[in-house]
Amino acid sequence: MAQQLAPDYLIGLAREFGTPLYVYHAEKIREQYEKLTSAFRNSNTIFFYACKALTNVNILKYIHSLGANVDCSSINEVRLALFAGFSPDRILYTSNGIAFGEIEEAKELGVIINIDSLSNLEKFGAKFGHSYPVGIRLRPNILAGGNLKISTGHDKSKFGIPVDQADLVLAIVQKYNMHISDLHIHTGSEIKDVDVFVKGIEVLFDIVPKFSELEFIDLGGGFKVPYKDGDVETDIELLARKIEAAFSSHPNPGGRPLQVWFEPGKFLVSESGLFITQVNVLKETSAATFVSVDSGFNHLIRPMFYDAYHRIVNLSNPHGDPKRYSVVGNICETDTFAWDRMIHEVREGDFLAFYNAGAYGFEMSSNFNSRFKPAEVMVRDGKAHLIRKRDVFEDLLRNQILL
Ligand code: LLP
């Protein structure tokens, strides 16, 4: 197990690099990746890191060095992945509602593409026919995931082509003699129940025989990680056994083995990340004791956006008497990080660490209130490296045009 970064060490980083600060622990990413590869060691399964969770190129390079592939959700993520050293055949672009021009760009770059609408499928078929293999993103009509905002496979979701439109998909594929190499589904994020993935396979297996050149089944991402005490992560060993069993009970059409793909984001990077803030102000009121830190939802939006729980530890007073606090930010909006939370006694100037900040933390941050985006540090082999500078005032003016 990757050793946890000690409170004193984290305080040292906060002092050296300033706060608010994102810190990523590389060895924790490796540990998570190895859980996946070890559980699936006997099956033909590979992993594409869903880099929308965290795209710092140093993280991308590190994940590349582990042997993983990468899943992208925009053409710029594709470019970042190429910049980080992934070869095009290890880059998957799972598109969603994008202009056809961007799909053409992805094709020019030579990456693997999943198309998510009949409209773009038709355009792709008309332009490229059989010449470029392509995948199809289907919506399996399965409701799963930690909350509705992060559920993507249900029957009211915008994502993918509804599986009940398979006949329309087939008509386009036949019309243009398209080379369909993979079928993709992604049902949501924070899926604990491995049977959701098995259900997904069942849905796909009904239509798999209709695609004679199929090589891959892409089951998307969404593995759960623990956020709170008592939370568990998706049981990856059990998942591997169930996936293997599901595939062995469905002989592949034409006898060719299908490779299975997954696209984990949170599973790889969530727990590797900590977000360190410093306490500006303590405010006693009849409703709560507010702890205002030098950040806000401009830097970590998950609590306000998804009611997400992030464990908060007082690095500066780990043995203080626990007290009940509302931890809030300093921006001019209600930006509560935690309501009614027991934390070791907090004093002004203390450093607080927010856990599980690696996935969708920095990546969803903004300059709201004209505050600077935080710096990022990667700890690797016991050494801390600054991998993104904190913004400076000029960054707020960059791209603005003075009239
Ligand atoms: N593949 C596709 C096609 C996706 O849309 C996503 C996430 C993933 C893979 C990776 O899912 P993961 O393994 O990270 O759960 N911002 C939200 C999560 C939104 C996920 C969007 N799609 C959050 O902070 O909870």
Spell out the domain ranges in the chain: 40-269, 273-397
DSSP state of 98: -
> What fold characterizes domain 273-397?
Lyase, Ornithine Decarboxylase; Chain A, domain 1 (2.40.37)
| Mean pLDDT calculated for residue range 234-260 | 87
Give the residue whose CA is nearest to atom 5 of ligand 1.
186
Calculate how far, in angstroms, residue 305's C-alpha sits from the geometric centre of ligand 1.
14
Ligand 1 atom, smallest distance to 190 CA: 15
**Does residue 253 carry a pLDDT above 80?**
no
| Mean pLDDT calculated for residue range 168-197 | 94
267 in contact with ligand 1, CB cutoff 6 A: yes
The overall average pLDDT reported for the chain is: 95
Calculate how far, in angstroms, residue 47's C-alpha sits from the geometric centre of ligand 1.
14
Q: How far apart are CA 318 and CA 332, in angstroms?
A: 30
Ligand 1 atom, smallest distance to 359 CA: 24
| Mean pLDDT calculated for residue range 323-344 | 97
70 in contact with ligand 1, CB cutoff 6 A: no
Q: How far apart are CA 131 and CA 127, in angstroms?
A: 9
DSSP state of 344: E
137 in contact with ligand 1, CB cutoff 6 A: no
Sign of the C-alpha dihedral, residues 35, 39, 45, 50?
negative
Structure tokens at 328: 């809030």
Calculate how far, in angstroms, residue 308's C-alpha sits from the geometric centre of ligand 1.
14
Band (pLDDT 50/70/90 cuts) for residue 148 is confident
Mutate to test the pocket of ligand 1, among 52, 196, 219 (most ligand atoms within 8 A of CB): 52
227 in contact with ligand 1, CB cutoff 6 A: no
**Strand, helix or coil for residue 333:** coil
Calculate how far, in angstroms, residue 259's C-alpha sits from the geometric centre of ligand 1.
22
Residue with tokens 């062995």: 248
Sign of the C-alpha dihedral, residues 377, 366, 32, 89?
negative
Calculate how far, in angstroms, residue 161's C-alpha sits from the geometric centre of ligand 1.
18
Q: Is 230 exposed, middle or buried (0-12, 13-18, 19+ CB in 10 A)?
A: exposed
Q: Is 393 exposed, middle or buried (0-12, 13-18, 19+ CB in 10 A)?
A: exposed
Q: What is the CATH number of domain 40-269?
A: 3.20.20.10
Sign of the C-alpha dihedral, residues 207, 208, 214, 217?
positive
Residues carrying an active site annotation:
332
What predicted TM-score, i.e. pTM, was given to this entire model?
0.97
Q: How far apart are CA 211 and CA 75, in angstroms?
A: 27
214 within 8 A of 260, measured Cβ to Cβ: no
CA 43 to chain centre: 24
Ligand 1 atom, smallest distance to 270 CA: 14
| Mean pLDDT calculated for residue range 357-384 | 98
221 in contact with ligand 1, CB cutoff 6 A: yes
77 in contact with ligand 1, CB cutoff 6 A: no
Q: How far apart are CA 3 and CA 34, in angstroms?
A: 15
222 in contact with ligand 1, CB cutoff 6 A: yes
Ligand 1 atom, smallest distance to 224 CA: 15
pLDDT score at 254: 65
Q: Is 166 exposed, middle or buried (0-12, 13-18, 19+ CB in 10 A)?
A: middle
Structure tokens at 401: 């045009």
Q: Do the strands 273-284 and 289-293 form a parallel or antiparallel pair, or are they unpaired?
A: antiparallel
Residue pLDDT, tens place only, 42-75:
999 999 999 999 999 999 999 999 999 999 999 9
